[in-house]
A and B are shown apart, each in its own frame.
Chain A
Amino acid sequence: KNQVEQSPQSLIILEGKNCTLQCNYTVSPFSNLRWYKQDTGRGPVSLTIMTFSENTKSNGRYTATLDADTKQSSLHITASQLSDSASYICVVSAEGGYNKLIFGAGTRLAVHP
Chain B
Amino acid sequence: SAVISQKPSRDICQRGTSLTIQCQVDSQVTMMFWYRQQPGQSLTLIATANQGSEATYESGFVIDKFPISRPNLTFSTLTVSNMSPEDSSIYLCSVGQTYYEQYFGPGTRLTVT
Contacts and interface: CB of A to CB of B under 8 A. Distances in A.
B100 A99 contact: yes
A93 B102 CA distance: 11
- Report the contact-size class of chain B (Cβ under 8 Å from the partner): 20 to 34
Interface in A24-69: 31-32, 36, 41-46, 49
A89 B102 CA distance: 14
A89 B43 CA distance: 9
A42 B92 CA distance: 9
A101 B45 contact: yes
B106 A105 contact: no
B42 interface: yes
Contact of A100 (B4, B45, B105): B45
B109 A41 contact: yes
Contacts of B107: 41-43
Contacts of B57: none
B53 interface: no
A99 B109 CA distance: 27
Interface in B59-113: 90, 92, 94, 98-107, 109
B42 A89 contact: yes
Contacts of A32: 100
A76 B88 CA distance: 33
A100 B90 CA distance: 20
B66 to A, nearest CB: 17
Contact of B100 (A45, A89, A93): A93
B94 to A, nearest CB: 8
Interface string A91-110: 00100000111011110000
27 contacts: A32-B100, A36-B104, A41-B107, A42-B106, A43-B4, A43-B104, A43-B105, A43-B106, A43-B107, A44-B43, A44-B92, A45-B104, A46-B1, A89-B43, A93-B99, A93-B100, A99-B98, A99-B99, A99-B100, A100-B45, A100-B99, A101-B45, A103-B43, A103-B44, A104-B42, A105-B41, A106-B42
